[in-house]
Amino acid sequence: MKVQIAKNKEELAEKAYEVLLDVINSKDEVSLGLATGSSPEGIYEIFRKEKPDVSHVTTVNLDEYIGLPTDHDQSYAYYMNEQLFKHLEFKATYLPNGLNPDHAAECARYDEIIAANTPDLQLLGIGTNGHIAFNEPGTSFDLTTNVAELSQATIEANSRYFDSPANVPTHAFTMGIKSIMQAK
């Protein structure tokens, strides 16, 4: 593991972008695991400005709220489209389908996508209570894609994005720690 220390969020975004760009430029077919939330926004801003060639890059996102359509302004599909996907031409982009009523089938489907597109690099943020994706503290490290029940702390932290805390979804599809740790 190589640890880099940044002075501020702008420097952190620049360093992270450079690491991602090195991976993108390292081979003909690349898969990136991507995150949502406030952590990667500076990185995505640099991507929008620099517009690197990502036509050979497939993305696999960490998670998606259950119950929000992709055009809901708080869905992670919408977030990724606004932040990155409508600005750059990726080979393919994947997120869990938050509207699939068959949760077991959706988890299995997404596990297959991850297996076929194992991330060369996984971008992560850490939630205020220590959650990674929607894997709350104490979640088993043996889980692959699963349905996570959001903790009250996570719901409260995410309520800033919704009209009221009552509108924050209580469950999400999330890549499990086992899947995250398979990134190359």
Q: Tell me which residues are annotated as active site.
A: 63, 129, 131, 136
Contact criterion met (CB below 8 Å) for 60 and 94? yes
Tell me the three-class secondary structure of the chain, residue by residue: CCCCCCCCHHHHHHHHHHHHHHHHCCCCCEEEEECCCCCCHHHHHHHHHHCCCCCCEEEEECEEECCCCCCCCCCHHHHHHHHHHCCCCCCEEECCCCCCCCHHHHHHHHHHHHHHCCCCEECCCECCCCCECCECCCCCCCCCCEEEECCHHHHHHHHHHCCCHHHCCCEEEECCHHHHHCCC
Contact criterion met (CB below 8 Å) for 180 and 146? no
Taking the CA atoms of 155, 159, 162 and 166 in sequence, report the sign of the dihedral they define.
Answer: positive
